[in-house]
Amino acid sequence: MTLDRFYPIFDSADWIERLVPLGIKLVQLRIKDAAPDVIGDHIQRAKRICVAHGCTLIVNDYWQAAIDAGCDYIHLGQEDLDDADMAAIRAAKLRLGISTHDRAELARAMALAPDYIALGPIYPTILKKMKWHEQGLAKLTTWRGLIGKTPLIAIGGMSVDRAPGAFEAGADVVAAVTDITLNENPEERVRAWLRATR
């Protein structure tokens, strides 16, 4: 399965319903700290719109809810791996993406034979307080050499203008968050991303 080169990440089904119809083919639903019924509702709504538009939906963290909703793909951070039931995830045939920041985390992730590896933050990000400083483009090239054919996703401070450099450094896919959601015209920004990555 080939992943689309543009990978926006949204914190609600509202964003997904609003922007996926513009032509997004790969999207992540990343909700933090919500009640299980709220999470389940957002996953179901996101799944419906993604199915209708031929978009791959990736659910962040909530692997059990993703299984319950019949989703195909999850993304786990390193902390998520600590309490994820990998046997249940495998039994449900969920595809798996994993965040990495250093070589120890990369080794741990690759041992799980993931469907993609994410490296970040490539640039400084305002999205969340991270103990990791910017990784830089050179580290993308290093990761590319270490993970073989496993798809590599660049995340963190990414913008339309920075995307070409990430691709040149070895990324297969570029993820964007605040570059879209904080833009005064998110629709036009998505269209710019699509033009830059197709």
Q: Read off the pTM.
A: 0.96
Distance CA 100, CA 3 (A): 18
pLDDT digits (tens, 9 = 90+) for 17-35: 999 999 999 999 999 989 9
> Which whole number is the average pLDDT over 60-81?
97
Distance CA 94, CA 73 (A): 5
Domains (ranges, CATH) in the chain? 6-197 (3.20.20.70)
**Do the strands 95-100 and 26-29 form a parallel or antiparallel pair, or are they unpaired?**
unpaired
What's residue 129's pLDDT?
A: 62
Report residue 49's pLDDT band, with 50, 70 and 90 as the boundaries: very high
Distance CA 84, CA 115 (A): 16
Structure tokens at 97: 């993406």
Judged against a pLDDT cut of 90, whether residue 75 lies above it is answered with: yes
Contact between 47 and 69 under an 8 Å Cβ cutoff? The reply is yes
